Structure formats: structure tokens, C-alpha cells
Amino acid sequence: MKRIATLIIYTLITLSVYAQKTPIDRVEPAFWWIGMKNPGLQLLIHGENISQQTVSLTYPGVTLQEITKAESPNYLFLTLSIGTEAKAGKVPLVFKNGKKTFTYSYELKIRSTASNRIQGFTASDVLYLIMPDRFANGNPTNDNVKGMLEGLERDKPFGRHGGDLKGISDHLDYIKDLGITAIWLNPVQENDQYKQSYHGYAITDFYKIDRRFGTNDEYVAFVEKSHSMGMKVIMDLVHNHSGIGHWWMKDLPFKDWIHQYTAKWPDYRSNFRLNVTSDPYASEADRSKMNDGWFDDHMPDLNQKNKFMAAYLIQNSLWWIEYAGIDGIRMDTYPYPDKDFMASWCKTILEEYPKFNIVGEVWMESIPTTAYWVANSPTKDAYHSTLPSATDFPFFFTVAKALTEPGSWDTGLTRLYNLLSQDFVYANPSGNVIFLDNHDTNRFFYDVQKDLNKYKMGMAFMLTTRGIPQLYYGTELLMDRSGASHADVRLDFPGGWPDDKVNAFTKEGRTVEQDEAINYIKTLASWRKTKSVIHTGKLMQFIPEDNIYIYFRYNDAETVMVVMNGNTSAKKLSTERFAERTNGFKMAKNALTSQKITDLSVIDIPAQTTLILELEK
């Protein structure tokens, strides 16, 4: 009986100890891994008056190198070093305040060795951009989440419509069938904002998937399913700003955690003049306004010059890569944060994951100012970028113009020639992500005046020229709105909701014209998948004449001739001037129709058509 009584008393005491609430309400990152190349780890600890605690740990291979108190008493920043001899397990962080102590168990995990994760993306891929809230609603039970500010408002253009990770996962067969090899989702991290949270770019928790999209586990499952189907996943991240509803906005660790202002809005808004960063004559006032001004009144500008913020953002990226096995990152608003930090961030990521790839959003119409942000491009100042890839906005701004105006010395298809003729400013132009539209721009079909022939020509150019092509969801359905209102180019994918009257995921739910567009993309993208000559081959172009543009993709094994006729009438093309690339070839096969051309000396080109010809001896 005494033994039983003693056991009961011990159990009650133990339960009482565990029932005591520790002062910690948040640890970020929540866990880490052994075997990382960089042994350093910064832990953000948040809790009421946590700075009053001293911290110690005893764990083989792990040392506590530094404890930093923030300006707020509710933070501690711990700097750990995880040696090569450390084993996976729970690291006991012992907190002590006077005679009171408690232990927080911090988990170190084993890294995955799966071969189909963290693969990177290259010019061999075709990216498919999806706005998750507008693609498909696979789980209506998460449309309204208790405690979150916005719920389902599908009748409102800027409201949440209910699309989620399950909806995307349920339609991976459709995406793969298009010829897609990589999926880029607009941000899926928590955006618990009071308005317009659907787009994802005002993050309120950098470590948590928005519950209206799903859970962290569901995101990992989505990545793994995509990988199992031969498709990669690119995560959209934001380092320039957070959402005003981010948990830390109620209790900043340091005053300079964000850029703060006493002026009234919009006096502290960014001037959005990206070129001031590379401008050798720019004023410091203009540079500061661009980099440190807020993107919007509900998007506080993060200060990457605060070393703890910098470490936080770098580790968040590393955490998502290792945790979810993503294959790439698309970094939003790349030129807006501190440029030296961004170079350091890229360098750190690529040192840890050499096969990984990162594309930065560089929304600039100028080719030199775009190239400024890409690694190894020539710059006049001392800045050395480490960014492997940039969004090619000069490409975007050029293609629709080239297809919708008469040809001349510098208009029509000559624009495409002139665009590529300036590739000398890029160290690796094939690394650029090229696109015809995205979630912030006019729909491409709108820009080409809803002309299906011009649309096909643009698709053919994008999928055969240099670069990493990106298709925006709905573009294959000929969505045709102006980007003057963002909501108009972020419409719901028809058929993604159970009560939709039209289901464009099926042939029966598409118009004849939509089906023609989809089949064109399928055929071209599927052909492209196995064509290393398009992925890594050389490019030679010839000056357009009579608004007919010819370029070749070639390597030691193959030569592909692309012929673009921008005229409203059919043309006969004499190929004599292309002899340096056509010599030795007698025939050609149309890559899309398999039709043979037995005489290469003269080629018949239908009006407003692109021919993709595989040359044969």
C-alpha cells in the first residue's frame, strides 16, 4: 500500500510540474536538423518576460554560443552551434530564473536522403503558376477558420474564394497532362489580414501554412505527390515585408526590426523606383525611399540590416527547403530589400543546396537594370549579386508588342531579335524565367487582341527560345482580362468548385477555341520535354526581313529551325541566307504535326504562324 501511495503522490507531482505553463509561447524555427553544412542556428524565443531567464544546455555536439536579449523583454535570441558529431534527438534547453527552472526540449531531426527532392529547376522545365485561392476548392471545411479574420466571400472579387492545397493536388493529372514539369504557387504561408489576404503576399506567420489552404503536413504531402508524378515545386517567399497582422507587430523585438516612420501614410511608402539601386548618380534619399519605404500600408517593411532579422529570414528559407523538399524559390520584390543581404541569402542557400535554384522577381522593363540583379553580370559598382535567375520582364513587355504591330526596322518581330541581341549583359540568359503573363499583368490573350494565331505564335516563341518558360493558370483557357484590376486576372478556374456550371478541367467543359489552345500547348510542351537542344542548345538568330523572323536552336546532335511569320498573308521563304545553319540538311519535320518538308530551299509559311522544324539530313 505504501508503494502505491508513493506512486500516486509521485504521479501527481509530475503531472503538476508538466501542467505548469512555461513562459514560452513561440520558438522559431520549431525544430532543426543535424548534418547541415552551416553549423550555426539562431533560435527566436518569445514569451512573457523570457529575457529574465538564463539559459543553458548539455547535449553532445551542440553548444550554446550566445544569448542575446532584445529591446523587448519578451524575446531571447539563442545562437547554437551543431557539430558534425551531434545526433538526432531532443536538446534540453534549461531556463532558470532564480530558483525556478524549466526545460524546453528542442528537436534535432535526421535529414531526408530521398533523391527526388530539392532538385532545382532549369531551362528543361516548364513552370505553371497558380494562385491557390483561385484554382480549386478541394476542402470546403477550411473555407472559414475560427479565429481568422477573413472567411469565404466568393462573390467579392478581392475576397477569399476557397481554393486550397487539396484542390490543386486533386488536379495534378490535369497539370501534368499540359506538359508542365514544375509548379509555382503564389505564397501559401499564413496571411491573417483584415482584407485582401487571398493573394498571399502579406505573410503573418513565416513558418505556418495558411489554414484556409491546409496545414504544413498537407503542404509536404502536396510536394511529395507532385514529386511522385515527376513535377517539381517552387515556393513563393517574401523578404521585403510582412503583413501588418504578423504576430510580432504587437511586440517587436527591436525598434529597427522594421522600418518605422512618424510621417503619415503615404509619405513613407516606397517610391517603387527600382532603377535607383543601380543608378550611379542616384541620391541617397531616393535609394532609401525605395528600399526602406513600405510596399503598402498593410505591409511593414522588414529591416534586413538588423542581424537577427537577417538570420531569421535566411533560416526560414533553409527550413522550408529541408522540411518540405521544395525544388526552388521565387523571391517576391527581389530588388526592394537590402541588396547585400539578398546576395548573402542567395549565397547561403546555394552553398547548402548546390542543385537548388532561385528566381527573383525583378519587375523592370530595361534589360541592363534587370541584368544588374543576376549573378556574374557586369556592373559598374562593387555589387556582386549571387541570384541565379531573374523574371524576364523585358521579354514580357516585348512579345505582345512584336505580335500586334506591323513589321519595320524596329517594330513587329524585329523586337524579338533586338530583345535577344542584348543578352550579352547576362552571364546566363538561359537562366531567366520567361513568361507571357502572370498574376500582376494583363492576360496574354488580351494583349494579343484575342487573336488565337498570335497567341500560338507567342507560345511557340516562349517554348523554343532561351530561358525557363512559365505559364500562368488560365492562360491555356484563353482568359482575356486586363490587369488594371488585379482581381480580373485572378479569376477562379472554371470547374474548381463543386457548384461551377462549367468544368474546364474536362474537354466537355471547354469551348472549341479553348480546346485548340490547350492542345497546342500540350503538344508543344510535351515535345519540348525531351529536347535537350531547346534546353541547353545554342541559339543563332537572323535579322527579320518582311516581318519574318528565323532562329535556330542547335547542338552536336540536333538542329531546330523556328520560322515566325508575323504577316496577315502567307509567304514563301527562300532559305539561302541561312546556309551557315542549314548546310548539310535536306529535309525537315514539323515538330507539332510530323509533316515532312522534302525541299528546304523554299518553305511555305502560312499567315501569322510559327513553324518549328527539326532538320534532317
Mean pLDDT value across residues 511-537: 98
Is the pLDDT at 508 greater than 90, yes or no? yes
Mean pLDDT value across residues 243-259: 97
The tens digit of pLDDT for each residue in 542-588 reads 999 999 999 999 999 999 999 999 999 999 999 999 999 999 999 99
Per the DSSP assignment, residues forming a β-bridge with 44 are 28, 77
The tens digit of pLDDT for each residue in 293-320 reads 999 999 999 999 999 999 999 999 999 9
The tens digit of pLDDT for each residue in 41-84 reads 999 999 999 999 999 999 999 999 999 999 999 999 999 999 99
> Beta strand 75-82 with 62-69: parallel, antiparallel or unpaired?
antiparallel
For 92, the grid coordinates are 534540453
Confidence of residue 21 (pLDDT cuts 50, 70, 90): low
Domain with CATH 3.20.20.80 in the chain: 127-530
- May I ask the CATH architecture of the domain 536-616? Sandwich (2.60)
Cβ atoms within 10 Å, residue 72: 17
d(CA 115, CA 70): 41
Convert 501-570 into a string of H (helix), E (strand) and C (coil): CCCCCCHHHCCHHHHHHHHHHHHHHHHHHCCHHHHCCEEEEEEEECCEEEEEEECCCCEEEEEEECCCCC
* Per-residue pLDDT, 229: 98
Cβ atoms within 10 Å, residue 13: 10
d(CA 562, CA 574): 14
d(CA 148, CA 404): 46
* Per-residue pLDDT, 477: 98
Domain with CATH 2.60.40.1180 in the chain: 536-616
Percent of the chain at pLDDT > 90 equals 95
Measured CA angle at 265 (ends 260, 270), to 5 deg: 70
User: Which of the pair, 377 or 386, is modelled with greater confidence?
Assistant: 386
Is the pLDDT at 11 greater than 70, yes or no? no
- May I ask the CATH architecture of the domain 2-109? Sandwich (2.60)
**Cβ–Cβ under 8 Å, residues 43 and 82:** no
Percent of the chain at pLDDT > 70 equals 97
- Secondary element (H or E) of residue 439: none
Pick the closest to residue 480 from 470, 471, 472, 489 (CA basis): 489
Mean pLDDT value across residues 509-524: 98
**Cβ–Cβ under 8 Å, residues 611 and 605:** yes
d(CA 296, CA 401): 31
State the burial class of residue 292 (Cβ atoms within 10 Å of its Cβ: 0-12, 13-18, 19+): buried
Domain with CATH 2.60.40.10 in the chain: 2-109
Tell which CATH classification among 3.40.50.880, 3.20.20.80, 3.90.228.20, 3.40.50.300 matches the domain 127-530.
Answer: 3.20.20.80
Confidence of residue 285 (pLDDT cuts 50, 70, 90): very high
* Per-residue pLDDT, 24: 97
The tens digit of pLDDT for each residue in 314-363 reads 999 999 999 999 999 999 999 999 999 999 999 999 999 999 999 999 99
d(CA 597, CA 586): 9
Residue numbers annotated as active site = 332, 361
Give the three-class secondary structure for 163: coil
Mean pLDDT value across residues 183-190: 98
